[in-house]
Structure 1
Amino acid sequence: MWHPVGELPARVYWRRRVVVLVVLLALLGGLGWLAFSLLSARGGGDAAASDRYEAVPEPALARVVPSLAAVATPDPPPVAEAAAEPQVAAPEPLAGGPCTDDMIALEVRTPGSVPVGSKPTFEIAVANVSAVPCVRALDKGLQEIVMVDSAGNRVWGSNDCFPEASSDLRTLGPGEVVTIPLVWGGLTSEPTCSAPRVNPAPGSYLLRARLDTKVSPDASITLV
């Protein structure tokens, strides 16, 4: 095949063969370059994508503000115990001042038992239980003894029908006791003294004394 046969000169055939060979080589070279470019582009794209995912810089905010897990939360300070309020001592009684209810003791004294219809004498005992002398009004209008039955019903009061008035400002020394007698007429009464007055029925009753705002414990009396 390397010895061309034909009507044309031999150089013409050689020239054609060289052209065909050059075209084939160019075609093969172009195909090879195209395949290499495709492979290179594909590999470069993967590498670029990998670089994009691997080389993403840390956000600026994350570099400035630490994460919550990295921040150490300080323990709350211990709650201080509330300071105990100082106890305010009660003022000392003033010598020569008024006898307050806390400075006196009040008691009603009875014979214990009396006959129905009799006129017994009861007593109100006022005692200064403080350590200093003090002044208390013992006016008759401030004194009262009330009798109640076992159910608490009022039976008699010393100021119901014959109230008395007087002015008696008394200085009581420490431990001094003043006794005030009150006579009961033996009959029932009520504050207006308008109801009929009768002898209470025999039985047990209670007497309660009062000196202005101070009230005594109850004392028993039996009518027989």
Structure 2
Amino acid sequence: MNEQASIYWRRRMVAIGGVVVALVVFGWAAGGFFGDGTAQVQDTNSGARESQPPSSPPPPPPPGSSSSSTTAPASPSSETSSPPPPPPPPPDPDLPCPDQAMQVTVELGAPQYKVGQRPVLRLVVVNAGPVACTRDISRALREVVVTSADGATRIWSSNDCYASKLPDLRIMQAGERQQFEVKWAGRTAAPGCPAKRTTVPAGTYSVIGKLGALVSAPVSIVLI
């Protein structure tokens, strides 16, 4: 009985030892298999990373592409644009004022005067042009004339007794006004300033202003 029991337990121990050895061998084999596989995968990926060429910029888009990253070519007009031309030089103020740029009028100190008073008459010259210019407004060219109401009879002129021929060149700015005042003695006169002169009676008369060939519109004056 003891001999049989001893044999039985030895067999059990051998069987158990064999199972243990088999498990150890199987575990070692399985561990080696999975360990090698993982290393192989890592090596493969590493090799792929090492063999990949360096990154390069993407190729340019084909002609006609609407890619927003493509820089639009410069406009031909912006490349060929030139600076604006310089402004023209201002008009020379020394150039004479043309007649069409001048405006001549006559003004009265009062619409009516008493006989024997000295009415105030003003000749007004205006540069009505757009630019400055030069005009001769000398005493010989300026003139205030009194006539009958219908303009048919010449009665008096501011130049009848004045013989100056000196020029009076003035630069007149656009819109500038020059005025010249004279006083009429209320008597007749004539060119050459004759000594015989008569007092003008009460009535309505016409006054005009002149600058050379330019003549103003008539203005009525009343003597009472």
Say yes or no: TM over 0.5. Answer: yes
- What is residue 50 of structure 2 aligned with on the other side? none
- What is residue 142 of structure 1 aligned with on the other side? 141
4+ runs of 1 displaced by more than 2 Å? 161-167, 192-196
Q: Which moved more, 1:172-181 or 1:192-201?
A: 192-201
What is the Cα-based RMSD across aligned positions, in Å?
A: 1.8
Task: Tell whether 2:106 aligns with 1:108.
Answer: yes
SS in 2 for 1:102: helix
- CA 163–183 in structure 1, closer or farther in 2 if over 3 Å, else same: farther
Residue segments in structure 2 that go unaligned for 5+ positions in a row? 1-89
SS in 1 for 2:140: helix
- What is residue 51 of structure 2 aligned with on the other side? none
Measure, in 2, the Cα distance between the counterparts of 1:129 and 1:95: 16
Note the 1:1-224 alignment, pairs <5 A.
94-96=91-93, 97-110=95-108, 111-151=110-150, 152-194=152-194, 196-224=196-224
Residue segments in structure 1 that go unaligned for 5+ positions in a row? 1-92
Q: Which amino acid aligns with 1:106?
A: V
User: How far is the alpha carbon of 1:165 from its aligned partner?
Assistant: 4.3
Q: Deviations over 1:83-142 (max 9, x none)?
A: xxxxxxxxxx95422111100100011121111121122111111111100100111011
User: How far is the alpha carbon of 1:161 from its aligned partner?
Assistant: 2.2
Using the size of structure 2 for normalisation, the TM-score is 0.55
- CA 218–94 in structure 1, closer or farther in 2 if over 3 Å, else same: farther
Q: Which amino acid aligns with 1:118?
A: Q
User: How far is the alpha carbon of 1:213 from its aligned partner?
Assistant: 1.5
Q: Deviations over 1:61-92 (max 9, x none)?
A: xxxxxxxxxxxxxxxxxxxxxxxxxxxxxxxx
Q: Which amino acid aligns with 2:143?
A: E
Measure, in 1, the Cα distance between the counterparts of 2:145 and 2:201: 16
Measure, in 2, the Cα distance between the counterparts of 1:138 and 1:215: 13
User: How far is the alpha carbon of 1:219 from its aligned partner?
Assistant: 0.9
- CA 197–158 in structure 1, closer or farther in 2 if over 3 Å, else same: same
User: How far is the alpha carbon of 1:195 from its aligned partner?
Assistant: 6.4
User: How far is the alpha carbon of 1:209 from its aligned partner?
Assistant: 0.8
Measure, in 1, the Cα distance between the counterparts of 2:115 and 2:91: 46
User: How far is the alpha carbon of 1:186 from its aligned partner?
Assistant: 1.8
User: How far is the alpha carbon of 1:218 from its aligned partner?
Assistant: 0.7
Measure, in 1, the Cα distance between the counterparts of 2:174 and 2:162: 33
Kept in 1, the 8 Å contact 2:149–2:220? The answer is no
Q: Which amino acid aligns with 2:183?
A: V
Q: Which amino acid aligns with 2:126?
A: A
Q: Which amino acid aligns with 2:125?
A: V
- CA 166–115 in structure 1, closer or farther in 2 if over 3 Å, else same: farther
User: How far is the alpha carbon of 1:148 from its aligned partner?
Assistant: 0.6
Measure, in 1, the Cα distance between the counterparts of 2:119 and 2:162: 16
Q: How many residues align?
A: 132
- What is residue 19 of structure 1 aligned with on the other side? none
SS in 2 for 1:191: coil
